[in-house]
Amino acid sequence: MAKFVRFRLSGKVGSSTAAYDFFFQAPPDSYAQLPAAESGVTEVPADAGNIGHVMPLVKTEALLRSAAAARFKLRIKVGTKTKIKSVIVAQEKADTFKEWAMGKTVAGGTVVSVSTPLSASYY
């Protein structure tokens, strides 16, 4: 069984001045090459004391239904193969994340397209 680590999604919703923190679990390498400044997601260190254990975990399905998060599908070219990677980012970072991610090296390959699940149609 794969070991999951805790991640923190931080940001603001709309013009609100109130900040939020949501904690969720994902595989350890999910956000390794995505900087927190661009995604709003940071890994909670294993030795963080109570911060990762006092705050309740939010299911990713519930997090994606909220106005706080956005999901993107990254299409990554690794040699001659193409991988699809799904990532969650803070909603306030969503506009800049799409522009930032294009052409970056993630998961051992180059990002060739970034789409939201609603705009990702396969025919």
pLDDT at position 77, please? 94
Residues of the chain with pLDDT under 70: 1-2, 13-18, 48-54, 118-123
pLDDT at position 42, please? 86
d(CA 46, CA 99) in angstroms, rounded, equals 32
Domain boundaries, the chain: 5-115
- The reply to whether the predicted model has a pTM over 0.95 is no
pLDDT at position 123, please? 41
pLDDT at position 78, please? 92
Closest to 88 in 3D by CA, of 45, 59, 123: 59
